[in-house]
Structure 1
């Protein structure tokens, strides 16, 4: 029945607002096929009303069918756009919070979404290029503390800080300046304690 596929996609979109599930290629393809079928029906109906053919057709009935089919096609399009918009917004927020696609999330993305992520990263880096001194990935809220306590989750090796260097080995704890390690926290290499 017309509209069932769009309803399924809308329900999936609603369920997955907080997390990203695997890209539902079969449902998207099914909805695109249904929409193409609707447009074929619309063209056939418009041919019936063509005055050049000289047929007498009840135009009110055809107009009602045209309106219903057109509304269904528009609804299908809105559901597809909402589904893809939500997924792209999730990828954008992932870029700004983590900076890369985690390995466990890659199988859930379509090839087009992976391309979008890499192109988005290139665009952001081109935009950030003139602003070398400004960290656009930094938190928008001012920090409460200048120095923080962090625990190292993964070996990072030696990093350069504003005043010297620091060796970050797994499970070690350090009292460091927040601005020196914010990028490592956002990448999941360090954990802010307390």
Structure 2
């Protein structure tokens, strides 16, 4: 039956609806493309015969095969686009280095696309906020509170908070500070977030 292999590719993605990435089905993709090539060649033959021999009875068959070609094309496009959306989501979930078991399920072109997306995202983040950039992949969910408890890992000196209060950051001292005020100090290794 026409288009069965293309529909099977879509069903394969639906079975993995939890956002996981199934293995790239190169064989299924190749079979759909071969079917499309055969449909196209048969249409070319029938169109030439209908024009030259005046055979109008071939037109419905040509239209049917043309609709099958369009459906296969839509299914292949949907398959590839859905995979790219899942790969893009993996960058936000896992970071710039994907686990080996996920990379194993990707084809060479998808790995190349992931590398380009990773570079584009890094370039965009560098262009945001000052010299060091801004990592927009952190804190994908809003924080539960605006203040966090931190421990000072080394002497750092004074830190002024919003209300004008100056806090002395001495080694092993603990403080309850606004999250945004101490995130850069946590990344620098000056402070450590104490999980309650």
Normalised by the length of structure 2, the TM-score is 0.70
Aligned to 2:191: none
Q: 1:41 to 1:121 in 2, by over 3 A?
A: same
Matches within 5 A, 1:124-135: 124-133=121-130, 134-135=134-135
| Unaligned stretches of 5+ residues in structure 2 | 160-168, 188-193
Which of these residues, 78, 92, 97, is aligned with residue 96 of structure 1? 92
Which blocks of at least 5 consecutive residues in structure 1 are unaligned? 150-157, 167-174, 185-191
Deviation of 1:164 (Å): 8.7
The SS at the match of 1:108 is coil
- Greater than 6 Å deviation, 4+ residue runs: 161-166
- Give the TM-score normalised by the residue count of structure 1: 0.71
Alignment correspondent of 1:56 = 54
Q: CA RMSD in A?
A: 3.3
* DSSP 3-state at the match of 2:114: helix
Q: Does 1:45 align with 2:46?
A: yes
Tell me how far apart the structure 2 counterparts of residues 33 and 148 of structure 1 sit (CA, whole Å).
Answer: 62
Residues 58-102 of structure 1 deviation map (CA, whole Å, 9 limit, x = unaligned): x1x322111110111111111111111111111111112221211
Task: State the Cα distance separating 1:123 from its structure 2 match.
Answer: 1.4
Please name the residue that 2:2 is paired with.
2
Asked if 2 retains the 8 angstrom alpha-carbon contact of 1:17 and 1:86, the reply is no
Pair 1:165–1:112, CA change in 2 (3 A): farther
Greater relative CO, 1 or 2 (CA 8 Å, sep 6+): 1
Q: Which has the larger radius of gyration?
A: 2
**Equivalent residue for 1:85, pick from 78, 81, 86:** 81
Deviation per residue, 1:127-153 (Å, 9 max, x gap): 22221443322345532223279xxxx
Paired residues of 1:13 and 1:82 also in contact (CA < 8 A): no
Q: Is the 8 A contact 2:36 2:69 kept in 1?
A: yes
| 8 Å contact from structure 2 (residues 92, 137) kept in 1 | yes
- Given candidates 105, 108, 111, the residue that maps to 2:108 is 111
* Contact 1:128 1:136 survives alignment (8 Å): yes
CA contact (8 A) 1:10 1:83 kept: yes
